[in-house]
Amino acid sequence: MPLSQLTLRPAALSDADACRTLSAAVGWPHRREDWEFALSLGRGFVVGSATEMVGVGLWWGFGATHASLGSIIVAPGWQGRGVGKLLVDRLIAATDGRTLGLVATPQGEALYARYGFVAIDEVRQHQGDWPELPAPVIGPNESMRPAAAADLPVLAGLDREATGLPRAPVLEGLLSRGHAVLLERDGAPSGFGFLRRHGRGWLIGPVAAVDDAAACNLIAALLAGRRGDFVRIDVPARSGLGAWLGERGLPLVASAVEMARGAAPVVPGPAHRFALVSQAIG
């Protein structure tokens, strides 16, 4: 079938099932609920023939100046025929001049480079069977507790320190889907971490914290005292968490390139990003 017989339209929440079929066809583990989460927070396009969905691409806006692109998939039987380019063309037009970020699979990297995306970091996917970790060691000047909806402004503030982006709606969506913990040191918010169901099991992320010790304690707190089967975490290479995760039974299984098109956001700190929401959202 020629490309001209395909139609492109805005993606809707009701596309979640067809998106799950598409992602399974390229070996991605996303469940319908994972697509519903992505679709509920973002916008995008689906491409279809009369009988099936053959492509999807989404974007998430962070204020008026930044956005991320992700969940870009073309059905294996349609790859190499221009559907990917069609989707990226439309996504870039829809994002209205924003600076764009994405995490590229090896398959997608060449396509994005063509649109001026340049590599800025590497994202490392660690995963494995749920490790049995000792409870975190909380210092006398620290406290850690579950985060609740009322903590959203604090979480969004730390997240903005770590990413430079206003992402309160994403964190709000996450709060209703999983567990979150908040660390205070000397009475000041010093880090948070989220855990939710995703794909084959559970996903840790995002995690933002003022230093390595805080990030490791947050991850240990999310894992200890709960039971699960499989757990995954996507960490920026520069976070330096890889060795710690590997020693705890979450080995590196894949890497992807983080890319940006336009001036990357200014990351004010002092909190740093230690784990992504997902490779799609960043």
Q: Does 281 engage in binding with ligand COA (CB under 6 A)? A: no
Shortest spacing between CB 158 and ligand COA, in angstroms: 27
Shortest spacing between CB 26 and ligand COA, in angstroms: 4
Q: Does 74 engage in binding with ligand COA (CB under 6 A)? A: yes
Q: What angle do CA 178, 183, 184 make, to 5 degrees?
A: 145
Say what the alpha-carbon torsion angle 139, 140, 146, 147 is, to the nearest 10 degrees.
-100
Q: Give which of 193, 157, 203, 152 is closest to 37, Cα–Cα.
A: 203
Q: Give which of 216, 211, 212 is closest to 233, Cα–Cα.
A: 216
Q: Does 119 engage in binding with ligand COA (CB under 6 A)? A: no
Tell me the residue nearest to ligand COA as measured from the CB: 84
Q: Which is nearer to ligand COA, 125 or 217 (CB)?
A: 125
How far is residue 176's CA from residue 198's CA, in Å, rounded to a whole number? Answer: 14
Burial-class residue 262 by CB neighbours within 10 Å (0-12, 13-18, 19+).
Answer: middle
- 103-117 core/surface letters (b: 16 or more CB in 10 A; e: else): bbbeebbebbeebeb
**Residue from 46, 83, 209, 250 in contact with ligand COA (CB under 6 A):** 83
Q: Which residue has the tokens 């025929």?
A: 81
* Number of alpha helices (DSSP H) and beta strands (DSSP E) in the chain: 8, 13
Question: How many residues at the interface with ligand COA, by CB under 6 A?
Answer: 17
Shortest spacing between CB 123 and ligand COA, in angstroms: 11
Q: Which is nearer to ligand COA, 57 or 61 (CB)?
A: 57
Q: Does 104 engage in binding with ligand COA (CB under 6 A)? A: yes
Q: Does 177 engage in binding with ligand COA (CB under 6 A)? A: no
Q: Which is nearer to ligand COA, 58 or 220 (CB)?
A: 58
**Residue from 72, 219, 259, 260 in contact with ligand COA (CB under 6 A):** 72
Q: Show the site string, 10-49: x = touches ligand COA by CB under 6 A, - = not.
A: ----------------x-----------------------
Say what the alpha-carbon torsion angle 87, 93, 94, 97 is, to the nearest 10 degrees.
130
How far is residue 244's CA from residue 248's CA, in Å, rounded to a whole number? Answer: 6
Q: Does 110 engage in binding with ligand COA (CB under 6 A)? A: yes
Q: Does 111 engage in binding with ligand COA (CB under 6 A)? A: yes
Distance of CA 110 to the CA centre of its chain: 21
Shortest spacing between CB 28 and ligand COA, in angstroms: 7
**Residue from 38, 73, 183, 271 in contact with ligand COA (CB under 6 A):** 73
Q: Does 108 engage in binding with ligand COA (CB under 6 A)? A: yes
How far is residue 59's CA from residue 48's CA, in Å, rounded to a whole number? Answer: 18
The pair of three-digit structure tokens given for residue 17, joined into one six-digit string: 């099932």
Q: Which residues bind ligand COA (CB under 6 A)?
A: 26, 72-74, 79-85, 104-105, 107-108, 110-111
